[in-house]
Structure 1
Amino acid sequence: MIVIRRTFSLILQCMIAIEILIFIGVFPVLFANLSFNLKQYLQTVYQVSVRLFTFKLFTLNGHISLFPSIFARYLDSMRILGLGIIVASIIAFLFAYLALILFRKRINVFKKLLELAESIPDLMFILLLQMAVILLYKKTGIKIAQVVTFREKTILLPVISIAVPISFYITKVLIHHIEEELEKNYITLAKSKGFSFFYILNIHVLRNIAEGMFGTSKTIFWSMLSTLLVIDYLFNMNGLLRMMLSGTDAFIIGSILIFIPFFILYRIYEWLSFDNRKDIN
């Protein structure tokens, strides 16, 4: 019964979210020609909603069908985003782990260095990365990665470009959550029983900060999406976000493809997490 109720609730929430995305997608119509066009705006919202829920044709610039080409671009962009999240998480975990193990007495200095690295704009980092690869190729003849996409797709540099800048932020948040966890009473009890810091960190702390990191993951996801748009242009990639700027239909369908799957995943995780906490209590 709970599963059925939650399923219907999830479907309803998705439909409402899609309608909100449509309202946002056709928003330029409201102020077209420097005038307030409320009637035309509502008519456009209705027309797009009918087309979407009756599976009518959506086009790119009014001529070319969005399907199935938008799915290929979606998969390419999500591949880079997914790999970026994995790489950024690995880098952040290693940085935070090593900092707390090796530089625990100087952790404040390490956090200031993280803030300094985090202040570097994503655009500057990407341009410097491209320049470094080009200079290395000119000096040594070694081509470690494709800098700009023409016929062949580039993966390595876009993944590094999206992963490294956000990894500094993830590391800072991870250290913050670990330090908060280390101040709790059960940690003091574990220390009094003679457990080592290494054991406490691995067995207790890292497991208990998962909930806190989940709350931060939404900020991380949206931040990486904005970087993905920059990557689309700087690496001359025909990604989903670049396609979304080409027209209203592309923006609405692209927004739905991005938002709905992640919304469903987050909602399911929240339900499972709530059930686990209820069972524990």
Structure 2
Amino acid sequence: MDGTPDHDANAVDRDATDADDPAHDANDSAHDANDSAHDANDSAHDADDSAHDANDSAHDANATDRDTPGAGVTPAAREITPAAPEEFGLVQVWWGDGKGKTTAALGMGVRAAGHGYRVHLLQFMKGGADSVEPDRGEYNAIAALPGLSYENTGHYGWHGFRDGSADDDHAAKAAGGLERARELIDAAGEADLTAPLPLSGDPEAGVHLLILDEVLYAADRGLIDPDDVRGLIDAKPDALELVVTGSHTRPDYLEDDADLITRVAKEKHPIDAGQRARKGTEF
């Protein structure tokens, strides 16, 4: 019946409940917002997990490469373009009765050329096309590498070793090599060695690294004067890196001029057992 106390009380309760609904709605909205935030966080965590999984896979792949016998990683190579060294200018001396002086110098030349520096190899005592070894492997490799050039000024054979040529013949060739070395050093002095140089063309345009291979042998055997070797060092521009090799006898006369002196000492050599120079290792 309308207007009874129980009915009125229920109506009041409903009104109170209706008044609470906005608060419940607000709470529901807040819960919904929190749920959305949790969902966003879950998505972010999932993305992080995917990134970590990708990194783990990359690390696992690298670990597999390292752990697999015989397997390795080949670093990417870039195109060789002209560049200028920042710290060249030292004098290196490589001497001794062991194998590897020319090999070490060639290795430095290849490394420098790989950085885009201009390198030239001038060989004394080696006759190239007129030599006992007419086809030297280093010449073929150098010809294929930008920025690295070579020439030789030797006589046929090797002075005092299975040769028979007169000393005057070897001395004349060595003197020619000495004059050529002076020309190259003078040309380097005219060039800006702090700047990139052309990778092709004559070394008279300047080089960053000059290798005088076997020049110390020529001095040791009396074909040129040791003072002339010192003169080359004195004449070089500050930024030119100069490498001189050769001689079984220590070149004490270069003690004060050299920044690096390396002795290549023989412990055992197949030549002592009668083995001739082998193609691919000695020439």
* TM-score normalized with structure 2 length: 0.25
Higher helix share: 1
Higher strand share: 2
The structure having more radius of gyration, on CA atoms, is 2
